Amino acid sequence: MRAGIINITGYAGSELARILHSHPEVEITSVTGRSAAGQKVKDVFPHLSSLDLAITPELEGSLDIVFSALPQVASAEASIPVLNQGIKLIDISADFRLKNAGEYKEWYGVPHPDPSYLEEAVYGLPELRSKEIKSARLIANPGCYPTSAILGLAPAISEGIIEPDIIIDSKSGISGAGRSLSMTTHFSEVNENTMAYGLGGHRHLPEITQELNFLSYEKTSITFVPHLVPMTRGILSACYGKLRPSGSWNGPDAGQRIRDLYEDFYAKSAFVDITAQPPQTKQTLGNNKCLIYPTVDTRTGRLVVISCIDNLVKGAAGQAVQNMNLMCQFPENTALDALAVYP
């Protein structure tokens, strides 16, 4: 298949190129980049020297699938002409994730350029939407924070074992902010420092709420607090929910029963592992896994779930390739079997 990458010069775009390079069914034939147009990929990214392509302002040639790695708003503007040509597209930005056009305008500050595509887009979380993904032509690749949080909470929400008032506390490496310069990602601001942000409402909050409400039989109330920590890659989310007093989810063996629930829920998911101890971000470095550790605080009757991913792989480029594999009837794990780089 002939693949194009819009904005290979971003972190997600370059990571897409790295992963797709080892895909036996895909050839990258066209790449764009706003700041590096006219240069060779190998000159901008020496680690991609085997990709002998020029970076162009627009996609060129005949393509079977396109990945858009532009920021939100700009991504929709570049993606819609591709979709109008009938080409399959996977968007890594937030431009097609929210189903409600009014909510998109509220959170991103501009009207969506074509709300009809919001209805068509499939939310690309393969562990929950594989059937829809297989027949889709437009995939809204989930955000990095939502991937860790939704996967961490999905079994508990689906089974209805926790109250709808949920807290999600997430820590992310700096690469999640992209390559654009800002004071908050300056080395001297980030090094030896941890900062909370988005307390008034992070843009990933409506996405998390939308997808958890899709799984729940009642409306959830989500408190989401993200943090930047001084590392390059990785997301660790700690999710908290009060166990319901009724049912069999309390008592001395509640932890094991909940662990069994999580293992059954993800038994057929190649990229989710239920761990025997709380996972660490470094244990996902460079691979497409989500590591999940559910436990119960018996003193408070509260479910605690720790969820770890690499924000650039399972949180972006790797998940996009996983979605492509499902869309195109390739084995789901093709080009995604790399183990984490540890330590």
Question: What number of CA atoms fall less than 13 Å from residue 195's CA on the CB side?
Answer: 13
Per-residue tokens: 56: 């162009």
Question: What number of CA atoms fall less than 13 Å from residue 282's CA on the CB side?
Answer: 3
Check: CB of residue 294 under 8 Å from CB of residue 311.
no
What is the CB neighbour count within 10 angstroms for residue 326? Answer: 22
- Residue 73: C-alpha distances to residues 78, 113, 148, 179 (Å): 9, 8, 23, 17
Beta bridge partners of 157: none
Helices 318-327 and 126-134 pack at an angle, to 10 degrees, of: 40
Kindly list the catalytic residues. Answer: 144
Closest CA to 293 of 320, 317, 319, 273: 273
Q: Residue 30 and residue 161: Cα distance in Å, rounded? A: 48
Q: Residue 233 and residue 314: Cα distance in Å, rounded? A: 11
Listed in sequence order, the DSSP H helices in 114-216 are 116-120, 126-134, 144-159, 187-190, 205-215
What is the CB neighbour count within 10 angstroms for residue 165? Answer: 12
